[in-house]
């Protein structure tokens, strides 16, 4: 039977308004909102940063994470310009390696790290320590020690235990780290449950509504070993509407007033976290960084004016918005299987080990045939991986050309954030290489894992 979608009644569930069958020529189009700035088709073949993806696949193999360096740097500059009177700390959890840390340092950003490992990468990249923030809801003593030894710019405190722990470790070393209090503002961010972080019933921060945030401030101010510089809030991730950020900014400003009234001090800094949504599929409308910055600044300024408070310095921590759109994953098609009357399963040589987001959050992605164009009619497809799970899905519902065949390359857009950083070795699949492209050149910034890497920690294999 033809793999062209037969438009039978069993397709009704996926033939929704969200996934109407497009004209065949649309399958070759690259929506500029979703693809990196430097992506185009040249003689039908996807070209990233001036390089034909067939050449990238031939040189580095697949699956392959490809980052458009100009795209990442341009987005970093855009945020830095928007928050020119404050600080932009890139959230390294989105994707971090020494090359990216160096790009962002050169663009003047700071860096938010949330583990001793991320801190080690930042230090290896020579990232200026005074522009590093340490995060985490359960930082181990060794992670706090590493941060103190390095002399990081600030540590965001997340629990009462941590306040005592850090004060003790700082006292032992005779240092006085700058700290912020992470506040749970009670904002219900409009995003997937797993990536909303400011509602009361979750693990991060000190609750504002219960009074824990103000109690944390009291405890820190009672301690000589810690220097309290401000409050922090991060409401969640992949957020499109601005309401949540505005409510959080408003509630933090109210807390600054309460602190002034109780302690007679005005904290100089306010960190509003990250969470700015990016376009994964056509129609997603990301924030304009300048409009966002102007809006947040105006809200905080309004509150400060109303309460006669000095305007604090603002920091934001975008992760996904900096590295997400500049990253593309290239895969090779291995099998194309019709499941009669339902859809076509296109299996590629990666999957949930290099992109967990679809399995974990039901994330949506855009995928195109990359190694050629096709005028074949669209077939209703599901892009799946090679792992032993039926939930090993990269793109749940998409239209691909009906002549797709083993050996074709497909590219998935907007995979620069939370894909390599959340990658695993499930099924002992090695993690793909990461390549940076720029002006027609390419280089490996994280090499592909090998079987030796997979066996490196196996004690008996190395006995
Ligand atoms: C404290 C903190 N800051 C910043 C971020 C970055 O978020 P995003 O990548 O959505 O901008 C996160 C992750 O959600 C976070 O936990
Ligand atoms: N990992 C998540 C975002 C969580 C960010 C960290 N708080 C994602 O892929 O969307």
Q: With respect to residue 430, please indicate whether it lies within any of the assigned structural domains.
A: yes
Q: What is the pLDDT of residues 361-418, one digit of tens each?
A: 999 999 999 999 999 999 999 999 999 999 999 999 999 999 999 999 999 999 999 9
CA of 189 to the centre of ligand 2 (A): 13
Give the CATH number of the domain where residue 130 resides: 3.20.20.10
191 Cβ closer than 6 Å to some ligand 2 atom: no
Ligand nearest to the CA of 277: 1
Instruction: State the Cα–Cα distance between residues 115 and 256, nearest whole angstrom.
Output: 28
Q: Is 461 helix (H, G, I), strand (E, B) or coil?
A: coil
Q: With respect to residue 91, please indicate whether it lies within any of the assigned structural domains.
A: yes
Question: Is 183 in the same domain as 311?
Answer: yes
- In this structure, how many other beta carbons lie within 10 angstroms of the beta carbon of residue 99? 18
The string of DSSP letters for 139-177 reads --HHHHHHHHHHT-SEEEE-SHHHHHHHHHHHHHHT---
182 Cβ closer than 6 Å to some ligand 1 atom: no
CB 229 within 8 A of CB 178: yes
Instruction: State the Cα–Cα distance between residues 207 and 205, nearest whole angstrom.
Output: 6
Range of the domain at 45: 9-61+326-455
Question: Is 380 in the same domain as 446?
Answer: yes
Of the residues 189, 191, 195, which should be mutated to test ligand 2's pocket, given the most ligand atoms within 8 Å of the CB? 195
pLDDT value for 198 = 65
pLDDT value for 202 = 82
Using the 3D structure, point to which of 269, 298, 321 is the last residue of a domain.
321
Question: Is 198 in the same domain as 341?
Answer: no
pLDDT value for 196 = 67
Question: Is 96 in the same domain as 145?
Answer: yes
CB 195 within 8 A of CB 202: no
Q: What is the pLDDT of residues 217-243, one digit of tens each?
A: 999 999 999 999 999 999 988 988 888
Residue found under tokens 């002992």 = 428
Q: With respect to residue 460, please indicate whether it lies within any of the assigned structural domains.
A: no
Using the 3D structure, point to which of 297, 321, 345 is the last residue of a domain.
321
**Residue 29 region by backbone torsions, left for phi larger than 0, else alpha for psi between -120 and 50, else beta:** beta
The predicted model gives 71-81 an average pLDDT of 98
Helix spans in 1-127 (H): 53-60, 69-82, 98-106, 116-124
Q: Per-residue confidence at 11, pLDDT binned at 50, 70, 90?
A: very low
Instruction: State the Cα–Cα distance between residues 400 and 337, nearest whole angstrom.
Output: 13
Burial classification of residue 82, based on how many CB atoms lie within 10 Å of its CB (0-12 exposed, 13-18 middle, 19 or more buried) = buried
**Residue 408 CA from chain centroid, whole number:** 28
Q: What is the pLDDT of residues 133-150, one digit of tens each?
A: 999 999 999 999 999 999
Question: Is 213 in the same domain as 75?
Answer: yes
The predicted model gives 36-57 an average pLDDT of 97
Question: Is 311 in the same domain as 425?
Answer: no
The predicted model gives 8-14 an average pLDDT of 40
Out of 16-20, 283-287, 390-394, least confident range: 16-20
Question: Is 288 in the same domain as 382?
Answer: no
Q: What is the pLDDT of residues 322-352, one digit of tens each?
A: 999 999 999 999 999 999 888 999 999 999 9
Q: Per-residue confidence at 8, pLDDT binned at 50, 70, 90?
A: very low
Q: With respect to residue 1, please indicate whether it lies within any of the assigned structural domains.
A: no
pLDDT value for 243 = 84
Q: What is the pLDDT of residues 24-34, one digit of tens each?
A: 888 989 999 99
Q: Whose CA is nearest to atom 7 of ligand 2?
A: 195
Q: Per-residue confidence at 194, pLDDT binned at 50, 70, 90?
A: low
pTM of the model as a whole: 0.94
Q: Is 281 helix (H, G, I), strand (E, B) or coil?
A: coil
Q: With respect to residue 155, please indicate whether it lies within any of the assigned structural domains.
A: yes
Residue 209's contacts (CB-CB under 8 Å, 6 or more residues apart) are: 186, 200
Q: With respect to residue 462, please indicate whether it lies within any of the assigned structural domains.
A: no
Backbone dihedral angles phi then psi of residue 457, each to the nearest 5 degrees: -95, 0
CA of 277 to the centre of ligand 1 (A): 11
Strands 327-339 and 343-348: antiparallel
pLDDT at 289 over 70: yes
pLDDT at 192 over 50: yes
Question: Is 99 in the same domain as 245?
Answer: yes
CA-nearest of 56, 63, 61, 62 to 38 is: 56
Instruction: State the Cα–Cα distance between residues 119 and 124, nearest whole angstrom.
Output: 8
Question: Is 341 in the same domain as 378?
Answer: yes
Question: Is 313 in the same domain as 357?
Answer: no
Asked whether the CA dihedral 367, 372, 375, 377 is positive or negative, the reply is negative
Q: Per-residue confidence at 6, pLDDT binned at 50, 70, 90?
A: very low
**Residue 50 region by backbone torsions, left for phi larger than 0, else alpha for psi between -120 and 50, else beta:** left
ipTM of the complex: 0.98
Question: Is 290 in the same domain as 385?
Answer: no
Using the 3D structure, point to which of 304, 321, 338 is the last residue of a domain.
321
What tokens were used for 415?
A: 């995979």
Catalytic residues, which ones?
388
Mean pLDDT, the chain, whole residue set:
93
Compare 253 and 438 and report the one with higher pLDDT. Answer: 438
pLDDT value for 396 = 96
Of the residues 156, 157, 273, which should be mutated to test ligand 1's pocket, given the most ligand atoms within 8 Å of the CB? 273
Q: With respect to residue 440, please indicate whether it lies within any of the assigned structural domains.
A: yes
Q: Hey, which residues does 438 pair with through a beta bridge?
A: 441
Give the CATH number of the domain where residue 48 resides: 2.40.37.10
Number of domains into which the chain is organized = 2
Question: Is 126 in the same domain as 249?
Answer: yes
């Amino acid at each position: 039977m033809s793999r062209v979608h037969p438009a039978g009644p069993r397709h009704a569930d996926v033939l929704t308004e969200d996934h109407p069958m497009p004209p065949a020529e649309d399958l070759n189009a690259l929506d500029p909102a979703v693809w990196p700035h430097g992506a185009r088709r040249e003689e039908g073949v996807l070209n990233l940063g001036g390089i034909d993806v067939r050449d990238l696949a031939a040189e580095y193999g697949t699956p392959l994470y490809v980052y458009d360096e100009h795209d990442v740097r341009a987005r970093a500059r855009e945020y830095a310009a928007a928050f020119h009177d404050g600080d932009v700390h890139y959230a390294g959890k989105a994707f971090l390696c020494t090359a990216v840390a160096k790009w962002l340092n050169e663009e003047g950003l700071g860096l938010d790290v949330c583990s001793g490992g991320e801190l080690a990468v930042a230090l290896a990249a020579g990232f200026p320590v005074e522009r590093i923030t340490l995060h985490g809801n359960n930082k181990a003593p060794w992670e706090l020690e590493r941060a103190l030894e390095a002399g990081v710019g600030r540590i965001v405190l997340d629990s009462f235990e941590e306040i005592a722990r850090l004060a003790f470790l700082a006292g032992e070393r005779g240092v006085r780290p700058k700290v912020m209090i992470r506040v749970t503002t009670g904002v219900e961010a409009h995003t997937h449950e797993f990536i909303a972080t400011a509602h009361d019933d979750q693990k991060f921060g000190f609750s504002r509504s219960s009074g824990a945030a103000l109690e944390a401030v009291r405890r820190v101010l009672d301690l000589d070993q810690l220097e309290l510089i401000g409050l922090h809030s991060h409401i969640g991730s992949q957020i499109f509407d601005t309401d949540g950020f505005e409510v959080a900014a408003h509630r933090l400003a109210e807390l600054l007033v309460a602190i002034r009234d109780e302690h007679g001090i005005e904290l100089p800094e306010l960190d509003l976290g990250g969470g700015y949504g990016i376009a994964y599929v056509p129609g997603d409308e990301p924030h304009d960084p300048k409009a966002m910055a102007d809006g947040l600044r105006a809200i905080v300024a309004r509150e400060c004016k109303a309460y006669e408070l000095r305007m604090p310095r603002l920091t934001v921590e975008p992760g996904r918005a900096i590295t997400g759109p500049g990253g593309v994953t290239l895969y090779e098609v291995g099998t194309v299987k019709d499941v009669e009357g339902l859809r076509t399963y296109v299996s590629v040589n990666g999957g949930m080990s290099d992109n967990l987001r679809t399995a974990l959050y039901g994330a949506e992605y855009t995928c195109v045939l990359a190694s050629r164009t096709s005028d074949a009619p669209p077939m209703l497809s599901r892009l799946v991986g090679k792992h032993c799970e039926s939930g090993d899905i990269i793109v749940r519902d998409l239209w691909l050309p009906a002549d797709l065949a083993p050996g074709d390359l497909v590219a998935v857009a907007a995979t620069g954030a939370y894909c390599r950083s959340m990658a695993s070795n499930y099924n002992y699949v090695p993690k793909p290489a990461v390549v940076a492209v720029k002006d027609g050149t390419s280089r490996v910034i994280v090499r592909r894992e090998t079987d030796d890497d997979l066996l490196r920690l196996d004690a008996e294999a190395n006995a």
